[in-house]
Structure 1
Amino acid sequence: MSQTKTLSVSAEMNQGFAVTSIIDGHQMVIDQPVTAKGTGLGPTPLQYFLFAVAGCIGTIARIAAFQKKIDLRSMQIQVEGDYNPAGLMGKASEDRNGFQQIRILASIDADLSETEKKAFLDEVCERCPLHDNTKLETEVLHSLA
């Protein structure tokens, strides 16, 4: 039987572009750069999204390393994505509005061969919920409160 768990985040935007939230006592801010009429108080939503993917992969890697008794000394995770900003600016585009491709490059410091590191990364990415959400279609619903 499925044991679905629901997570919820509430955010607020007042004047300007800054969107704020308090999540488990942590003050979070998403903003736009000053050059884009924001106040530069935080990363953009797209940067936060890529950071969240990197954070999820790192977290799952740590869990998997504990489970497999791997001494994971460190892990560097670079996540980059390509998108066409035309759609979010309200301009016509043949591209979808989201990322067309997301690339994850990981460096793993552990006593594993290159083949074992690759298999470990593959398993971690398969277990990562955000990797799953970017790889597979997820129904997204929206409505007015």
Structure 2
Amino acid sequence: MDTIKTVKVEAEMQEGFAIRSNINGHTLIIDQPEAARGSNLGATPLETFLFAIAGCVGTIGRIIAMQRKLELRGMQVQVEGDYNPAGLLGKPTDDRIGFQQIRISAAIDADWSEEEKKSFLDEVCHRCPIHDNISLETLVTHQSS
């Protein structure tokens, strides 16, 4: 039987739009730019979400390379997503509130053929938990206290 591991993050609203969290001894702040009435103390939630995808892809890439004893000098991962901000602003829209499409590209620094790089990235994305969560439906619940 597989073991399920729970990951927990707690965050607290600060002044304005800033949200602060202490995760594993690291302080993270999410905010909005000044143009959106934030204090620009950190990346936006959407930017942080895309960064989490890039971070997971890079991490899984390193894990696979270590497991297979492959020489992977590095990866530059770019993640971009398209969304219509109308819904989050409370305006009527027929579009989903979230990203309509997310694109991941990786420049892989290794002495591999293009086919090997593509196969490697395919496996990385297949093994990435965050990629899995955005590719497949995940039950999300919420409650207030």
Matches within 5 A, 1:94-109: 94-109=94-109
1:68 and 1:43 mapped to 2: Cα distance?
Answer: 35
5+ long unaligned stretches in structure 2: none
Alignment of 1:30 onto 2:36:
no
Task: Give the Cα–Cα distance (whole angstroms) in 2 for the partners of residues 142 and 97 of structure 1.
Answer: 17
Q: State the secondary structure of the residue aligned to 1:60.
A: helix
1:100-139 equivalences in 2 (<5 Å): 100-139=100-139
CA distance in 2, matches of 1:62, 1:15: 38
Deviation, structure 1 residue 15: 2.5
Secondary structure of the structure 1 residue equivalent to 2:66? helix
The correspondence of residues 66-85 of structure 1 with structure 2, limited to 5 A, is 66-85=66-85
C-alpha contact (below 8 Å) 2:14/2:20 kept by paired residues: no
1:141 corresponds in structure 2 to 141
Runs of 5+ unmatched residues, structure 1 = none
SS in 1 for 2:88: helix
Question: 1:13 — aligned with what?
Answer: 13
**Letter of the aligned partner of 2:47 in structure 1?**
Q
1:64 partner SS: helix
CA RMSD of superposed structures (Å): 0.6
What does the per-residue CA deviation read over 1:38-75, in whole Å, with 9 as the maximum and x for residues that have no partner? Answer: 00000000000000000000000000000111111010
Query: Runs of at least 4 residues of structure 1 off by over 3 A?
Result: none
Is 1:43 the counterpart of 2:43 in the alignment? yes
Q: Distance in 2 between matches of 1:73 and 1:15?
A: 42
Fraction of identical pairs, as percent: 64
Contact 2:82 2:100 in 1 (8 A): yes
* CA–CA separation in structure 1 for the residues paired with 2:141 and 2:17: 23
